[in-house]
Amino acid sequence: MTETPRTLGILAGGGRLPAQVAAAARAAGRSVFIVGLEGFADPAVLAPWRHEIIRIGAAGRIMAALRGHGCQDLVLIGPVRRPSMLDLRPDAEGVRILGRIGRAAFLGDDGLLAAVIRVLGEAGFRVIGAHEVMRDALGPRGLLTRMAPDAQAVADLERGIAVARALGAADVGQGCVVQQGIVLAVEAVEGTDAMLARCAGLARPGVGGVLLKLVKPGQERRADLPTIGPTTIAGAVAAGLRGVAFEAGGTIL
């Protein structure tokens, strides 16, 4: 007797990825329920799906909604800006969770997300990566365009790898932009799109730079994998970059 796939819960931040995860789950025969985080999730993106919009500090409501729809497996997907304690306004369950998270609440994104995943596991949810649902979403190895990087681009990428690894080891960010050996920008809390917007006014004369995105060393891969989408590519073009590189098998395209 075939077991009916369990309802997949999606805890959704911004962008279109939550809907893409939902579509992949439905194509695999799973039902889906989405909790959109108020102020981050796009109601228009979630409209075709069973969903509820709940503020991030209302952890009790979030867990009750997920349990009420039979969700055990859970995907965390979509950008969320870390709120201040004033904006968070945690309910009783939120206060309890903050106590369980402890000092990780004041660490970088990966440290915080790893703690959140641990607490969700203790609450009975199994957090899985978006890439485990969207099986073909991870970028492959190799050249994906007709134009191959020249010697300067390769040198910029090598410089970018060293910088991105150092950033990731400190749990700061996942990406940087390098042009002619000069680091134009590094990604921090503002995210990739804002980093690229800064680069337009920083570019040097001559050949354009490159954007590089890597998984942080030791990163919890079930949340916040590097992502490159149409907005990223448009931002790179607007910034005058001539290439984008990413960690194969670790970046959602």
Residue 82 DSSP label = P
Q: For 93-102, what is the mean pLDDT?
A: 80
Q: What is the pLDDT of residues 65-80, one digit of tens each?
A: 999 999 999 999 998 8
User: Of 98, 133, 168, at which residue does a domain stop?
Assistant: 133
Which pLDDT does position 97 carry in this prediction?
A: 82
Q: For 217-242, what is the mean pLDDT?
A: 92
Q: Is the sign of the CA dihedral 113, 114, 117, 118 positive or negative?
A: negative
β-sheet bridge partners, residue 183 = 178
Task: Answer yes or no: do 175 and 93 share one domain.
Answer: no
Q: What is the domain count for the chain?
A: 2
Which pLDDT does position 109 carry in this prediction?
A: 74
β-sheet bridge partners, residue 71 = 7
Provide the residue range defining the domain that includes 103. Answer: 7-133
Q: Report percent pLDDT > 90 for the chain.
A: 67
Task: Answer yes or no: do 35 and 117 share one domain.
Answer: yes
Is the CB of residue 235 less than 8 Å from the CB of residue 193? yes
- Residue 1 predicted with pLDDT over 50: no
Provide the token pair at 148.
Answer: 């191959």
User: Of 85, 106, 133, at which residue does a domain stop?
Assistant: 133
- Residue 214 predicted with pLDDT over 90: yes
The per-residue DSSP string of 197-237 comes to HHHTTTPPSSS--EEEE-PPTT--TTS---B--HHHHHHHH
Cα–Cα distance for residue pair 112/80, rounded to 1 Å: 12
Task: Answer yes or no: do 235 and 160 share one domain.
Answer: yes
Which pLDDT does position 106 carry in this prediction?
A: 65
Provide the token pair at 152.
Answer: 């300067």
In a domain, 233, yes or no: yes
Provide the token pair at 138.
Answer: 């991870």
Which pLDDT does position 185 carry in this prediction?
A: 95
Task: Answer yes or no: do 14 and 64 share one domain.
Answer: yes
Where residue 7 falls among pLDDT bands split at 50, 70, 90? very high
Which pLDDT does position 240 carry in this prediction?
A: 94
- Residue 144 predicted with pLDDT over 50: yes
Is the CB of residue 208 less than 8 Å from the CB of residue 236? no
In a domain, 191, yes or no: yes
